[in-house]
Each structure stands twice: as C-alpha cells, then as structure tokens.
Chains A and B, each alone.
Chain A
C-alpha cells in the first residue's frame, strides 16, 4: 500500500490515485516523418526498469491533477513527487 505525496494536496492513501504509466515520453515533433518502428517505440515500448521509475499519477479522488513520481520498483520507496513539466529530479541510483 503506497502513501503518495501529491504535490498539491500532501500525502494521501493510494486509494485516491490512479497510475498513469511512464513519464517524460515526449510526443514526436515530426509525426509524418516517423517510421513504423519509431511509432511502435513511442506508443508501446516501455523502459519498465527494475529500479527507479519516473511515472505519472493522477489524484483522481482528490484535486484531480496529474503529477509525476520518482519511485523504486522493488522497494516501492518514493524519492520525489513533482509537477508535470518540471525536470526529472536527482535520485539515488
């Protein structure tokens, strides 16, 4: 069970949130020029690391806003919670 620090509301129970997958995936700048393989990579392929993962969450049953977490996928430790558009925070390896 995660205790998730929403950057707008503070720490709340996991029940109030919904997971939104990998963060910092940039929309292709020239979609017309992308090959099928590049599209597949953008749409489907995941980093899915065993370690620190930068990911999107939405505070669905709270403020309703999207934000990012830096969370470890083995210990589930949350290193940072930050607003959409902010740079990736520094985290321990």
Chain B
C-alpha cells in the first residue's frame, strides 16, 4: 500500500501509487514524525494482495544539513541505537548519524550474534544485564523483528581451574540477579546431546554453566530496526560520508569535516569500533585501544541439530546454529594489530580443531564462508562509554570482541550521557580516566570467548 504524500515528501517518484494503493494512508508508526507504516500481520496481508510492490523504503537517505545538535559518527548497531534513544527518551531529534560505508556494514554485520550477560564485575553485569532486558522486548519496541532467540548458552569447563572460575562467576552473577545454573557432564549431554562428554577426550567436559535467557539475535535486523526507528523520529542517517577531521575551538567541539562537507555540531559522539584510535588521533587524543582482526565462519546448512549456544575458553570455540541451518562459529582474535577485516588461516585451523574436539559429529562438515571484523580491545576487556577531555566530544568504544550483545544497553546509556552531559549510573565506571586512576574493570576471563 502506497501513501501518496509519502512519495512526494521524500521525492520518491519511482514509487508511484499502485493499483489498489489509494485511499487511507497506512497507520503511522508510534511516535513517528514521518509516515512510516507499522509492520503487522495485516500490513503483510495487505502488501501480499499487491504482490509486495508497495513496501516503502525503511529509512530516508537525506543530504546532510549544515548543522545538527548532535552528530553521531558510525552507523553500526551502537551508533543507531544511540540515535534512537536520543530521539525517543530525550527528545533530541536534530541528529545526524554519519557513516563512512554502509549502515551496519562493520562489526554489526560481522559478529556471531551471541547475546549473554554472564560477565564477572558488577559494572559489566549492570550494563550487559540492562542490554539483555532490552533485548527481550526489542522486537516489540522497534516494531521490527530482531529475531532474539533466548535458546540458552552453555559455558564449558574442561579443567579444575575452569570449574573454579565458573563457580566464582556463577555466584557473582547470581548475587547480581543474573540467572545461571551449573550442569554436570550428564546434564550437559541431556541439554545438548551432540556434545562429546567422553572422559577420553583431549579436554574432557567436567561441567558447564548455563544461562537460559541468553541466546542469539539477527544481527542486521538490529541495525535496520534502530535505523528505522531513529529515522521515523527525524534522525538523518547519512551513508557514504566519511569523517576526515574535527572542528575544535578553545577545547570545545564545533563540528566535523566530512567527505560531504563540514557539519556543525556542539556535540559529537564517536562510535566507530575498530577505527576509534584513528578518530581519537584526529582530536589529538590517545586511547588504550588495540585494533585486532576477529574472524568467524559458517558451515553448509544442516537440519536443526544444535539447540543452544555453546562456548568454551579452554578448547577455544563458540558455536550456534542459525535459522538458515548454518553453524556460526567463532574463536580467537588474531594477535597482531590490523585494520584489514581479515586474519590468518591458522586461527581458523585452531578453531576447527576445537570444534571437532567438542563435536566429533561435525568432523566432515564443510565450511562455506569466512569473514573478519576489526575489534577494538581495551587492556581490561571493558568498554569506554564516556565524555572525552574535549567538551562536547563523547566516545563509545573498546567493546572489543563482545559488542553485539550490548547494543541496546550501550545505546541507551550513551544517549543519556550525551543528552545530560553526564553518565548514566550504569556507565559511570566506564571512563577513559579509569586507566590513570587504576579502577580497571577486568573482564579478560569472561570476555575472552563468545563474542
């Protein structure tokens, strides 16, 4: 169904009203300023009658205006979520999200889609737990199916040390309200029957912790859903627009230089993951961040066989099965620094050894595709979500190997930080200054796997 004034408003002449598409415009999206139709079973049926020729573009592609209240650099999940919550929770809609490439084309489209909250430190549990709560209702919130599937996550123990670490995290998490259960090898086998629990394995399974409300989500849909929601509230998403420098006068942010001209803004929020150090250098700052390649790969599609997400620190691999039937497999980041979005084959070789060790059933499985993203790793494996020493400059970075799961929570608290020029209680600890004060949030054990 096509709304006539929609086509006029956005200058989309190619969407001329179709036969049967006249009459009442579609119901407006809740709180929307633009005429975005709400998705439902009825809109699906209505469009089916029209052979699906009437679907509208999900967001506009405007040229950048000369000035905004807030410019967000990076249209990945975190950047778009930030824009969405700025508009929705804080009423700041004069916002541009500028993106060097295409929306969701960085790490948002390159991860293994795992969502969990079983971190160790209080501060981490706060922000990841907050994100997990938002995930649970995100599809309804955005009116966009992000396919969040809380199918459980098993974290395996293979040594006495693993068992102690899991027990410690188990107690720490339960004290903070994150539900974990401990399974013995027999219970692991019942929960996920294809795991090899033979005591003769190279690294026998001694137990596992299970977070039942963890799972996976559709990575692209998260970016698209937030983009649609932000756009409907008036946020301009400007793709193919690379930031080349900052305008800083007297220690205050004045705007950004981009490949599409200068854009003035008193507040600039940088959410560029692997390129955070590059953007920081443009503002004369140094960050405690290293950029590494992190690879993942998918197998040929199988019938449903893997009912959960399984991760292991010792036999380093994590795996889940996508709705298309492919196994989605990840492991270690490459050790050297790189901005190339590709890593070394030896890392994948080790990952496959681990997979076959845990699941002998997969030994003859063929792999279809591999890819890499650039992850921004802090020394304590925790993010920086904070104001920078330059007034009006904010960074949200350092999510390293595990940013995807945090998208809703990260965007929510970062929007609060930008709107109020002060952190939300949940991100107050994630400052840049913690590296000089010594208040590190060490998550190297909990963050090292299942990205």
Using CB atoms and an 8 Å cutoff, list the residues of chain A in contact with chain B: 1-2, 14-15, 18-19, 21, 36-37, 39-41, 43-50, 53, 55, 71, 73-76
Beta-carbon nearest neighbor of A46 in chain B: B290
Question: B371 on the interface (CB 8 Å rule)?
Answer: no
Can you offer 9 A-B residue contacts whose CB atoms are under 8 A? A1-B344, A1-B345, A14-B346, A19-B336, A19-B337, A36-B436, A48-B287, A73-B338, A76-B340
Decide yes or no: A74 and B340 within 8 Å by CB, A39-B436, A40-B435 being known contacts. Answer: yes
- The reply to whether A55 and B336 form a contact with Cβ atoms under 8 Å apart is yes
Q: Is the interface of A mostly helix, strand, loop or mixed?
A: mixed
Known pairs A1-B344, A1-B345, A14-B344; A73 contacts B436 (CB<8 A): no
Q: Are B344 and A2 in contact, CB atoms less than 8 angstroms apart? A: yes
- Hey, which bits of chain B sit against chain A, CB under 8 A? 275, 277-278, 281, 286-291, 335-340, 344-346, 379, 435-438
Are the C-beta atoms of B344 and A46 separated by less than 8 Å? no
Q: How far is the CB of A3 from chain B (nearest CB, A)?
A: 11
Residues on B with C-beta less than 8 A from A41 are 286
How far apart are B291's CB and chain A's nearest CB, in angstroms? 6
A36–B335 Cα gap in the complex (Å)? 28
| Cα distance, A36 to B275, chains bound together (Å) | 26
- Docked pose: A35 CA to B52 CA in angstroms: 64
Residues of A within 8 A of B337 (CB): 19, 48, 53, 55, 73
CA distance A41 to B336 in the complex (A): 20
Q: Specify which chain B residues have a CB less than 8 angstroms from the CB of A44 in the assembled complex.
A: 288, 379, 435
A89 to chain B, nearest CB (A): 18
Other 13 A-B pairs with CB < 8 A, given A1-B344, A44-B288, A49-B278: A36-B438, A39-B436, A44-B435, A45-B287, A45-B288, A46-B277, A48-B277, A48-B289, A50-B275, A50-B277, A50-B339, A74-B339, A76-B340
User: CA separation between A49 and B288, bound complex, in Å?
Assistant: 12
Instruction: Report if A75-B290 is in contact (Cβ < 8 Å); known contacts: A39-B436, A44-B379.
Output: no
Number of A-B contacts (CB under 8 A): 68
- By the criterion CB–CB under 8 Å, are B340 and A75 in contact? yes
Q: Whole-angstrom distance from the CB of B302 to the nearest CB of chain A?
A: 29
- Chain A residue numbers with a CB within 8 Å of B345 are 1
Say yes or no: A73-B339 contact (C-beta < 8 A), given A39-B436, A41-B286, A44-B288: yes
**Contact residue among B338, B344, B346, B435 (Cβ-Cβ distance under 8 Å from A45):** B435
Q: Do B335 and A19 touch (CB < 8 A)? A: yes
Query: CB-CB < 8 A to A14: which residues of B?
Result: 344, 346
- Residue with the highest number of chain B CB atoms closer than 10 Å, among A37, A55, A73, A74: A73
Chain A: CB-nearest residue to B275 = A50
- The answer to whether A46 touches B437 (Cβ under 8 A) is no
Q: Which residues of B sit under 8 angstroms from A46, Cβ to Cβ?
A: 277, 286-290
B344 surroundings in chain A (CB, below 8 A): 1-2, 14
The minimal Cβ–Cβ distance linking A8 to chain B, given in whole angstroms, is 20
